Amino acid sequence: MAEGDTIARPARRLHAATAGVEVARSRFRHPRVATADLAGQRIAGWGSHGKHLLMRTDDGLTLHSHLRMSGRWSVLRPGRRPPPRLDVRALLVLADGRSLAGVALPVLQLVRTRDERLVVGHLGPDLLADGFDPATAVVRLRAGSDTLVGALLDQRRLAGLGTMWAGELCFLHHLSPWTPVAGVDPARLHALVDDARARLSTAVTDNPRQVTTGDPRVPHWVHGRAGRPCLRCGTPVAFRPAARAAHGRETWWCPGCQS
């Protein structure tokens, strides 16, 4: 599932595999970058901001992609080409014979690196960024009238949390997802933000990933467990579909633990 940690992992993998390597040829099948040519440029590195992936070149360009639920980037060994059935939107043939294939990418843009704000400037602070300031994140989260879960999922306030992490964090901190965020005690919200950063950081590097219960056999407390007994109190886990949630996302919670 697309969350900040699931984007940071490929960013680190792609950086380790391709940073410093020259692009020999490039081909794009996406309207915004169809005529772009990165041949002769070296990949300076890969990074992420929330759910957004950024590949930077030594010529001062940034290839921005958003994977959503379907996209992915793969490094192909020399001589290998992606199967024709795949929806390849970007193909970078590297000077060492390998290729980078961007598959089913719904968002693909090319901007000057100095202008990255055009594609990620609307986002809130990235939970996984160096120098992340939790106090700033708390202020941004509380600046609105929406629910706690709605605020946590608003990437303009805090970048990196998706449906799973937002729901699990509300459960872990005994907070109803439907509580108005402005009514949550700032100290409790600060603790939740600190916990979110720690958990996502661990999920980037450690296995098992995205396990909030400590048991990979039952990885989540409430996420995906509608109608099943709460692992803490036994109350059936409640569920609200996206169409019935003001924030437009599926939500799971325990009415007993999070009242």
For the entire predicted model, the pTM comes to: 0.92
Whole-number pLDDT of residue 145: 84
Query: Could you say which architecture CATH assigns to the domain 4-120?
Result: Alpha-Beta Barrel (3.20)
Q: What is the pLDDT of residue 153?
A: 97
Average pLDDT of the chain to the nearest whole number: 95
In the prediction, which pLDDT does 94 show? 98
Write down the pLDDT at residue 204.
93
Judge if 4-120 and 134-253 fold alike in CATH terms. no
Q: Give the pLDDT of residue 165.
A: 97
Task: Label residue 119 by pLDDT band (50, 70, 90).
Answer: very high
Q: Is 191 left (phi over 0), alpha (psi -120 to 50) or beta?
A: alpha
pLDDT tens profile 199-232? 999 999 887 789 999 999 999 999 999 999 999 9
Tokens of 135: 């106090």
* pLDDT for the residue numbered 69: 82
250, pLDDT greater than 90? yes
pLDDT of residue 144: 82
Q: Minimal CA–CA distance to 176: which of 249, 82, 94, 251?
A: 251
Residue 1: pLDDT over 70: no
Give the residue ranges of DSSP H helices in the chain: 4-18, 117-120, 134-142, 148-153, 163-172, 186-205
Predicted local confidence at residue 43, as pLDDT: 98
Cα(74)–Cα(96) distance, rounded to whole angstroms? 15
> Which residues are within 8 A (CB) of 88 and not within 5 positions of it... i.e. 6 or more apart?
29, 82, 101, 102, 103
Three-state DSSP state, 65: strand
CA distances from 171 to 50, 71, 83, 92, 126 (A): 22, 29, 42, 43, 22
10-24, 45-59, 67-81, 163-177: least confident range: 67-81
134-253 CATH, one of 3.40.50.720, 1.10.8.50, 3.30.450.40, 3.40.50.880: 1.10.8.50
| Other beta carbons within 10 Å of 122 | 10
Q: Structural domain boundaries of the chain? A: 4-120, 134-253
Contact 64, 56 (CB under 8 A): no
For 143: left if phi > 0, alpha if psi spans -120 to 50, otherwise beta; the answer is beta
Instruction: Work out the average pLDDT over 15-21.
Output: 98
Quick check: 41 and 35 in contact, CB under 8 A? no
